[in-house]
Amino acid sequence: MKRLSVKLKLTVLMTALLLVLVAAVLAFLVTVTSTVVTDNAHEQLETTVRANLPEISRAADGSLSLGEGFVFTRGGVYTLIYNASGALLAGQPPLSAPEGLAFENGALREASGSDDYYVIDFWLPFGWEDGVWVRGLLQVPESAEVVGDLIGIALLLLPLLVVLGGVGAYLLVRSTFRPIDRIVAAAGAIGEGRDLSRRIGLPPGRDEISRLATAFDSMFERLERSFEAEKQFTSDASHELRTPTAVILAQCAEAGHAETVEQYRQAIDVIDRQARKMSALISQLLQMTRLDQGTQRAAMEEADLSDLVEVICAEQPALPHRVTIQTDVQPEVRAVFDVTLMSRLLQNLLNNAARYGRDGGHIWVTLRHMDDAVLLSVRDDGIGIPADQMDKIWQRFYQVDAARSGSGGTGLGLTMVRQIAALHGGDVSVESTEGVGSCFTLRFPAVRAGEKNS
């Protein structure tokens, strides 16, 4: 049974069930029919004989007198009258009736002559000592034959019913399972051909299989999107890593021909910068992938964001361009956030503000709690962002000016900032004027942040 397909198993089960049901119904019918036939015969026998009893009397001369209503045979019931010693006084027993049967007053029983008969006897007393036996005989009706016929018909019909039921069950199961065959075919095609654009495409319905197919389709959709994203990511990442690798290889080759210590040092410097860039790139890629794939889940907790912002701003090492930080932090702004991720977000914004700041410039960090939302902004008086680049800076690996980004820049910082903001149910916006400065503002709900991810 284990090796059979589900279709075949169901067909066999349904047919077997049908067989059992039909057999049970037939057995019930046979039992009921035979009971009804027997009961009817008993009743007919007894009432006919009882109806004759009042018609029997003894005439003044001692002879037996039968009233007008007396009938010897009615509806197959024979009424016979015997004297006390068992001699037949009136009536003609059928030839096949049992003979020499002892009398039993009021007892209905079955007895066999050459045929089977139901017998009932009544003692009809005349005075104290005399009386007559009145016997009723009714041939056991052909109920057995009826039942036999029924069984015969059933035996004839049963195989037909089983065949019809089996075919019906198979057709039903096959049509029910047809969508599953489509699901299997689509999953197989995707598995073998890696054709993720395939869909099962069942018309929408409310039954379980339609819902399963829809669930599969949306799973395929998600898989396709994530495979596409992964492909894009791999190609972007390898493209980005190729440049520093090529530079390092070129510098190594150059160092091989260096003649002075100075030339060596220059080559090593370039290699060092490029290696740092690669290292930063790899670690940011790793962090982003973890966030993307959900392997690093946001650990949301309610905490004092004011403290965190103050601590991070205070702990900044000597920033490039001798930029200084000023904070305007509303105290005790409590919110639900992931401390590590929020620190990384602020750090990225601070790095950018300093990296793209002017010499001796400033960074203003502001934190406010407004209308159930938290507003964290990092403003600088740096080089600003050209208006036509404002949308692009959020894209992976996008850099307005790679030379200005320096060895620490990867073009991934803002992508990650936006990713973290989204994980907190918020977003980041930017306002910037080229040559004047930029202001990045994070806004996220103070209390319900990150509910989806926690």
Pick between residue 343 and residue 405 the one whose CB is nearest to ligand ADP: 405
Nearest to 357 by CA among 277, 437, 440, 442: 437
Nearest to 332 by CA among 316, 309, 349, 312: 309
Task: Output the smallest distance, CB 346 to ligand ADP, in A.
Answer: 13
Task: Output the smallest distance, CB 334 to ligand ADP, in A.
Answer: 28
Q: Are 139 and 115 in contact (CB under 8 A)?
A: yes
Task: Output the smallest distance, CB 290 to ligand ADP, in A.
Answer: 18
Angstrom distances, CA of residue 324 to CA of 40, 131, 431: 113, 138, 20
Pick between residue 136 and residue 409 the one whose CB is nearest to ligand ADP: 409
Give the chain's end-to-end CA distance (angstroms, integer).
46
The structure tokens listed for 159 are 């195989």
Task: Output the smallest distance, CB 352 to ligand ADP, in A.
Answer: 3
C-alpha–C-alpha distance, residues 73 and 78, integer Å: 5
Q: Which residues contact 440 (CB under 8 A, 6 or more apart)?
A: 349, 352, 353, 377, 378, 379, 417, 428, 429, 430
How do beta strands 130-139 and 324-329 pair? unpaired
Pick between residue 229 and residue 447 the one whose CB is nearest to ligand ADP: 229
Pick between residue 135 and residue 443 the one whose CB is nearest to ligand ADP: 443
Measured in whole angstroms, the distance separating CA 4 from the mean position of its chain's CA atoms is: 24
Amino acid at 401: D
Task: Output the smallest distance, CB 443 to ligand ADP, in A.
Answer: 17
Tell me the sheet residues that pair with 90.
Answer: 81
Task: Output the smallest distance, CB 394 to ligand ADP, in A.
Answer: 7
Pick between residue 47 and residue 343 the one whose CB is nearest to ligand ADP: 343
Task: Output the smallest distance, CB 433 to ligand ADP, in A.
Answer: 10
Place of tokens 């003894």: 58
Tell me the sheet residues that pair with 57.
Answer: 65
Pick between residue 345 and residue 414 the one whose CB is nearest to ligand ADP: 414
Task: Output the smallest distance, CB 178 to ligand ADP, in A.
Answer: 51
Pick between residue 361 and residue 426 the one whose CB is nearest to ligand ADP: 361
Residues making contact with ligand ADP (CB under 6 A) = 352-353, 356, 380, 382-385, 393, 398-401, 405, 409-415, 438
Is the C-alpha dihedral spanning 346, 350, 353, 356 positive or negative? Answer: negative
DSSP three-state, residue 380: strand
Tell me the DSSP string of 385-421.
--GGGTTGGGSTT--S-HHHHTTT--S-HHHHHHHHH
Pick between residue 74 and residue 362 the one whose CB is nearest to ligand ADP: 362
Pick between residue 11 and residue 399 the one whose CB is nearest to ligand ADP: 399
C-alpha–C-alpha distance, residues 182 and 171, integer Å: 17
Q: Are 372 and 393 in contact (CB under 8 A)?
A: no
Task: Output the smallest distance, CB 396 to ligand ADP, in A.
Answer: 8
C-alpha–C-alpha distance, residues 424 and 451, integer Å: 8
Task: Output the smallest distance, CB 347 to ligand ADP, in A.
Answer: 11
C-alpha–C-alpha distance, residues 38 and 34, integer Å: 6
Pick between residue 26 and residue 402 the one whose CB is nearest to ligand ADP: 402
Select the residue whose beta carbon is closest to ligand ADP and give its number. Answer: 413
C-alpha–C-alpha distance, residues 243 and 277, integer Å: 10
